[in-house]
């Protein structure tokens, strides 16, 4: 006696194949929906904002009147902010990564630092704002300055940079280190002359991506009380300043419809800045693909 009746199997096979096709379509639609959302978002913002993009928009300061509003102070402020975040977060992040990958012994303390980093990555950005408000703005008297905001943002993206740098350092084959040690090189010589040069593309790519996250970040700056409408440019690290996302936030909140278009124009500038940064990151990644 046969347990399996071929005719029944074949009959059921048809419906099973159809169910498979049906669900494949569903999965495909789900994937497309995500992409579709991005398309709508971009089209919508471009159509709203392009009309407001002109030279005045770049050369004017913020204003109560939509037609006079510009992003000069915000754009310059965002760039200044980056100039603080980039060195601070990279020195701390790469230093931590070198320590963890090259020096740290496998023990509880190292595990603790590592676990701490992954938990820090999950802390909401607004909580970093509260940290910055207490420590940098009040305790260190940095107020609403570029420095206070830059330090806060550096800590915010620090975990991302550490993890990216760790991955880049780990990707350098151990044979490379052995070759260097075999020549009588010290540990630090091996790190600076062999490991870091090979890991730098990966570190830079990760850091630029993290930096672009900081540039688009708003919440911690709101908590720090960074002003939105400024009629002057910052002249030192301790000056007050404003940034693109804050400026956009302010415009988006306003009830007048014209400000929506101004906000959209600001978003175009912000997104353009991010696209440029991401392109640089991708360029570095492709150009210096590892050769081992």
- Which of these, 217, 264, 278, 276, lies nearest to 243 by C-alpha position? 217
Q: CB of residue 248 vs other proteins: minimum separation in angstroms?
A: 5
- Which of these, 289, 284, 244, 283, lies nearest to 267 by C-alpha position? 244
Residue 45 burial class via C-beta count within 10 angstroms: exposed 0-12, middle 13-18, buried 19 and up: middle
Alpha-carbon distance of 79 to 71, in angstroms, equals 12
Task: Give whichever of 40 and 235 is closer to other proteins, judged by the CB atom.
Answer: 40
Task: Give whichever of 75 and 158 is closer to other proteins, judged by the CB atom.
Answer: 158
Q: CB of residue 120 vs other proteins: minimum separation in angstroms?
A: 6
Q: CB of residue 226 vs other proteins: minimum separation in angstroms?
A: 10
Task: Give whichever of 128 and 236 is closer to other proteins, judged by the CB atom.
Answer: 128
Alpha-carbon distance of 191 to 176, in angstroms, equals 10
Q: CB of residue 68 vs other proteins: minimum separation in angstroms?
A: 21
Alpha-carbon distance of 35 to 96, in angstroms, equals 37
Task: Give whichever of 230 and 235 is closer to other proteins, judged by the CB atom.
Answer: 230
- Which of these, 123, 148, 150, lies nearest to 135 by C-alpha position? 148
- Which of these, 21, 9, 222, 206, lies nearest to 121 by C-alpha position? 206
Task: Give whichever of 89 and 146 is closer to other proteins, judged by the CB atom.
Answer: 89
Q: CB of residue 280 vs other proteins: minimum separation in angstroms?
A: 14
Q: CB of residue 235 vs other proteins: minimum separation in angstroms?
A: 25
Task: Give whichever of 24 and 68 is closer to other proteins, judged by the CB atom.
Answer: 24
On whether the CB atoms of residues 218 and 124 are closer than 8 A, the answer is no
């Amino acid at each position: 006696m046969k347990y399996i009746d071929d005719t029944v199997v074949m009959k059921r096979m048809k419906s099973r194949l159809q169910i498979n096709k049906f669900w494949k379509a569903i999965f495909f639609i789900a994937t497309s929906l995500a992409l579709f959302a991005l398309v709508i978002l971009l089209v919508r913002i471009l159509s709203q904002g392009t009309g407001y993009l002109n030279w005045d928009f770049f050369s004017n300061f913020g204003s109560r009147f939509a037609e006079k509003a510009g992003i000069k102070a915000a754009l310059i402020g965002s760039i200044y902010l980056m100039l603080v975040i980039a060195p601070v977060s990279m020195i701390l992040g790469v230093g931590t990564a070198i320590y963890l990958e090259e020096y740290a012994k496998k023990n509880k303390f190292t595990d603790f630092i590592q676990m701490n980093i992954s938990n820090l990555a999950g802390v909401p950005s607004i909580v970093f704002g509260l940290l910055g408000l207490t420590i940098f703005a009040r305790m260190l008297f940095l107020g609403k300055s570029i420095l206070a905001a830059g330090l806060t943002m550096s800590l915010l993206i620090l975990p991302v940079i550490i993890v990216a740098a760790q991955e880049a350092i780990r990707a350098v084959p151990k044979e490379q280190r052995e070759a260097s040690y075999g020549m009588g090189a010290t540990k630090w010589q091996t790190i600076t002359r062999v490991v870091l040069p090979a890991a730098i593309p990966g570190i830079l790519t990760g850091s630029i991506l993290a930096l672009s996250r900081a540039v688009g970040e708003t919440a911690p700056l709101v908590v720090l009380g960074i002003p939105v409408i400024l009629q002057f440019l910052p002249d030192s690290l301790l000056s007050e300043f404003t940034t693109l996302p804050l400026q956009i936030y302010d415009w988006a909140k306003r009830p007048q419809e014209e400000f929506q278009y101004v906000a959209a124009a600001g978003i175009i500038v912000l997104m353009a800045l991010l696209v440029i940064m991401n392109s640089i990151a991708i360029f570095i990644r492709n150009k210096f693909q590892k050769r081992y």
